[in-house]
């Protein structure tokens, strides 16, 4: 079965083609074909990068602003040229999409029908940057592959759909909750994949474990996982809440927003831009939201870059503490995402705060670019894992399971 996965963001889109047989492999297989479209380099230009499992690569600049045109050209590389891996697009059995917001209704991977498309469109007011892009991807595939090819939506909110009411409800008038203003949580596909992978690496049943998964990328969130379910998470009604991030503020006093709206020249649009794109490490350092650049600036004596890094660590520790309290104990702390997987310094700084609980890192393992291994010292009271997140593979598995069930 050939499964195409589309993982679309506001500024880039990653796509993969998997070939799966009658049973699911234990470890993520290498995709037959992978593509990345990047719209951030220059206005009016999309950069397309394609790679096949036999290491044939292609890099092209496409002069267009139209996402559907770029997607059509990307799909052409599946069936023609050096990167060809299939003869016809009709060989694709199913297309899986990462959809950011599934609201209260969509709690698992769902076959896309008209009402699902309507729901994704209606939820755009909750996820204005992501849901419209996801819907556009679904409709473009419909046009190119036809409506006979099944498409599946895998929602980033689904894993958090059973948050207890105490964690999901905001302490504002209850009517807001009834209108859908509640904690949804995001990065669910990654948190769930990492939780399953950690249980597999520990040789234990996920249902017996208490885990905190730290997804630390440009966006960042933590999940507290008990009995295999997310019982608390740091992102909320939108992906702006919680940890300090690359360019997002994370949680701040809502009184600041009221003050800015009243006293300064801010409106909803400019607040949105400031809190999502000009805050976090970028806002504090004034340099960049990228951790590597922050560290490089700090090493050259930039004190605001140092403050940004110190604040990032403070925020991470504080929120791990909050998840720990929600769980009431911890078997393993799990790091993933660009920062979680690659920054030994951030992992070490985060863990140091929990030494009083008997959590001890093995510094050699932590420093040795770990992937899918336990980096805690043998006598640590809590295990610590670095897991390479595989969102696309998680989406492909959901598609495979859904088609098998039918």
Residues contributing to the annotated binding site: 7, 14, 98, 215-219, 290-292, 338-342, 391
- Shortest distance (Å) from residue 344 CB to ligand ADP: 8
User: Counting contacts by CB under 6 A, is residue 291 touching ligand ADP?
Assistant: yes
Assess contact for 115 and 94: CB atoms under 8 A.
no
Residue ranges of the binding site for substrate: 98
Which residue from 206, 339, 394, 402 is in contact with ligand ADP, where contact means CB under 6 A?
339
Annotated binding site for ATP: 14, 215-219, 290-292, 338-342
Q: How far is the CB of 313 from ligand ADP (least distance, A)?
A: 13
Instruction: Report d(CA 277, CA 281) in Å as an integer.
Output: 10
Q: Which residue among 19, 83, 134, 343 contacts ligand ADP (CB under 6 A)? A: 343
Q: Which of 311, 338, 348, 373 binds ligand ADP (CB under 6 A)?
A: 338
Tell me: does residue 342 bind ligand ADP (CB under 6 A).
yes
Cβ proximity to ligand ADP: between 364 and 404 the closer is 364
**Between residues 19 and 190, which has the closer beta carbon with respect to ligand ADP?**
190
Size of the site for ligand ADP (CB under 6 A): 12
Of the pair 138, 344, the CB lying nearest ligand ADP is at: 344
Residue numbering of the annotated binding site for Mg(2+):
7, 391
3-state secondary structure of 153: strand
CB atoms under 10 Å from CB of 250, counted, come to: 22
| Whole-number Å distance between alpha carbons of 131 and 128 | 6
CB 198 within 8 A of CB 189: no
Single residue of 137, 217, 283, 370 touching ligand ADP by CB under 6 A: 217
Is position 292 an interface residue for ligand ADP (rule: CB under 6 A)?
yes
* Catalytic-role residue among 118, 156, 205, 272: 156
* Residue number, 150 or 340, with CB nearest to ligand ADP: 340
Three-class DSSP category at 277? helix
Q: Does 15 bind ligand ADP (CB under 6 A)?
A: no
C-alpha closest to that of 162 among 231, 110, 109, 108: 231
Judge whether 398 and 200 are in contact, CB under 8 Å.
no
CA distances in angstroms from 385 to 159, 200, 211, 382, listed in the order given: 20, 12, 10, 10
Query: Whole-angstrom Cα distance, residue 353 to residue 347?
Result: 11
Determine, following the binding rule CB under 6 A, whether residue 290 of this chain makes contact with ligand ADP. Answer: yes
Angle (nearest 5°) at CA 354 between 353 and 355: 95
The only residue of 96, 188, 246, 370 in contact with ligand ADP, by rule CB under 6 A: 246
Q: 125: buried, middle or exposed (CB in 10 Å: 19+, 13-18, 0-12)?
A: exposed
Q: Nearest residue by C-beta to ligand ADP? A: 338
Q: Which residues contact 398 (CB under 8 A, 6 or more apart)?
A: 96, 109, 152, 154
Does residue 156 have an active-site annotation? yes
Q: Helix-strand-coil percent breakdown of the chain, rounded to 5?
A: 40, 20, 40
User: Least separation, in Å, of the C-beta of 138 and ligand ADP?
Assistant: 21
Out of 337, 354, 360, 397, point to the residue binding ligand ADP (CB under 6 A).
Answer: 337
Which residues are near ligand ADP by CB under 6 A? 217-219, 246, 290-292, 337-339, 342-343
> Which positions are catalytic?
156
């Amino acid at each position: 079965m050939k499964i195409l996965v589309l993982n679309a963001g506001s500024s880039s889109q990653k796509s993969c083609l998997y070939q799966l047989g009658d049973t699911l492999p234990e470890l993520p297989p290498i995709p037959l074909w992978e593509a990345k479209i990047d719209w951030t380099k220059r206005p009016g230009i999309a950069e397309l990068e394609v790679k096949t499992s036999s290491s044939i690569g292609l890099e092209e600049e496409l002069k267009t602003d139209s996402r559907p045109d770029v997607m059509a050209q990307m799909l052409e590389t599946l069936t023609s040229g050096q990167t060809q891996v299939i003869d016809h697009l009709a060989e694709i059995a199913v297309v899986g999409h990462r959809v950011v917001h599934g609201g209260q209704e969509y709690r698992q991977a769902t076959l896309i029908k008209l009402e699902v498309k309507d729901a994704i469109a209606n939820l755009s007011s909750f996820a204005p940057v992501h849901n419209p892009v996801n819907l556009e991807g679904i409709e473009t595939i419909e046009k190119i592959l036809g409506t006979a090819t099944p498409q599946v939506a895998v929602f980033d909110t689904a894993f958090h759909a059973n948050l207890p009411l105490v964690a999901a409800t905001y302490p504002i008038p209850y009517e807001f909750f009834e209108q859908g203003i509640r904690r949804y949580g995001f990065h669910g596909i990654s948190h769930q994949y990492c939780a399953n992978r950690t249980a597999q690496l520990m040789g234990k049943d996920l249902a017996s474990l208490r885990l905190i998964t730290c997804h630390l990328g440009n966006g960042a969130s933590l999940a507290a996982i008990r009995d295999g379910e997310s019982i608390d998470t740091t992102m909320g009604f939108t992906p702006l809440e919680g940890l300090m991030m690359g360019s997002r503020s994370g949680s701040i006093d809502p009184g600041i927003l009221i003050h800015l709206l009243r006293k300064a020249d801010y409106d909803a649009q400019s607040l949105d831009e400031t809190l999502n794109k000009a805050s976090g490490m970028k806002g504090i350092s004034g340099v960049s939201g990228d951790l590597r650049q922050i560290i490089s600036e700090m090493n050259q004596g930039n004190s605001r870059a140092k403050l940004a890094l110190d604040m990032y660590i403070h925020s991470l520790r504080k929120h791990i503490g909050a998840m720990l309290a929600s769980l009431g104990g911890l078997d393993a702390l799990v790091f993933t995402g660009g920062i979680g997987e690659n920054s030994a310094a951030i992992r070490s700084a985060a863990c140091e705060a929990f030494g009083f609980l008997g959590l001890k890192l093995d510094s050699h393992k932590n420093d040795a670019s770990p992937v899918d291994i336990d980096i805690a010292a043998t006598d640590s009271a809590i295990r610590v894992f670095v897991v390479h997140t595989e969102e696309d593979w998680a989406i492909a598995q959901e598609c495979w399971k859904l088609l098998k069930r039918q």
